[in-house]
Structure 1
Amino acid sequence: MNTTVRLLALFLAAGISQMASAEEIDNLTAVYNEDGKYFTEDDVPTYNVQEDGTIDWPTYSGFRRYHSECHVCHGPEGEGSSYAPALKASAIDMDYYDFVDVVVNGRTRVGAAENSVMPSFGNNPNVMCYLDDIYVYLKARGAEVVPRGRPRKKEPKHDAIREAENACLGS
């Protein structure tokens, strides 16, 4: 599925998710996996960390992508910096579709107590092709199930993930 179609599907789903009941939904626990990716009960991407510390491929990929595109402003491991806020808690507290919206479209907040600008990354394939990976990595950091530093053990990269990556990047 190309990136434009995928993003359209995400935004349509966002409208549906906001109509859902206000009951608390577990946005961390993986209840199923599909082609090497893990999802919550409400079909939101999430991480999977095994008892021996082995993480799923998307979380590992998210670590790599976060540190190539996001950590310059938001600090290493999603911890925040003097320039931009920590993201590890945001990935847990913020609705997935709101997270996607902010990354794709950017956000500006200007006021008496705040002045911040998050640029749009909607045209950056190094972010957009790995957006779910970055999100699940930040969720895992926020839940404190993945420690700081490069993850030591990871699941192998699923063929479907490799194919989707190649399609998104035009390889």
Structure 2
Amino acid sequence: MAGTPLAKAEPPGDPTPIRSDDGKYVDKNGNPTYQIGKGGEVDWYTYSGFVRYSAECLRCHGPDGMGSSYGPALVESLKRLGYSDFFSTVAGGKQDVNAAQTLVMPALGGDRNVMCYVDSIYVYLRARADGALGRGRPAQHAPKPASYVKAENECMG
């Protein structure tokens, strides 16, 4: 679940998965990515990302990552924000203060409900940003991998 930043601070790049470790897909740079089948079935991490995003991020960043009056549209942010920057911002927070506005993203590094699922949240938002996944709950998803259950239990305690 919780990952460590693997890529340099750069745009996410090509989302094509090059390998899977028990249902967790990564791109050529080793960053978490999504897999969507021809029938629209999403991998478990993308589905879990939707669920976790909806529970933990929606209140500030709006439904489906589309933004709100409290937080920016993450669907737009992830077009230019790579995994390392995303992870760092979620864990460490961000503050952008100027004469016109004050924007604050709280540091969530100690919040297990977020950090145990940060890879899933990233994968879901990456699929949304790439236009590979529409709005709303994915209709079909792959089963939960055994390694996901194990990692979730270890991370959540």
Shorter-chain TM-score: which interval?
A: over 0.9
Q: By percentage of residues, which structure has more helix? A: 1
Find the structure with the greater CA-based Rg.
1
Tell me the SS of whatever aligns to 2:78: helix
Separation in structure 1 between the aligned mates of residue 154 and residue 133 of structure 2, nearest angstrom: 29
Q: In structure 2, what is the equivalent of residue 81 of structure 1?
A: 68
Aligned residues of 2:96 and 2:104 also touching (Cα < 8 A): yes
CA contact (8 A) 1:48 1:56 kept: yes
Partner of 1:49: 36
Question: Mind listing any 5+ residue stretches in structure 2 that lack a counterpart?
Answer: none
Deviations 1:15-60 (A, max 9, x none): xx35xxx8x8734111111111000001000011011000000000
Count residues with an aligned counterpart. 157
Pairing 1:62–2:72 present? no
* CA RMSD between the two structures: 1.9
Amino acid at match of 1:55: V
Deviation digits for residues 105-124 of structure 1 (CA, Å, limit 9, x no counterpart): 10100012432000011010
What CA distance in whole angstroms lies between the structure 2 residues aligned with 1:103 and 1:148?
Answer: 22
Name structure 1 gaps, 5 residues minimum.
none
Task: Name which structure has the greater RCO, CA cutoff 8 Å, separation 6+.
Answer: 2
Deviations 1:59-80 (A, max 9, x none): 0000000000000000000000
- TM-score, normalization by structure 1: 0.85
| TM-score (ref. length: structure 2) | 0.93
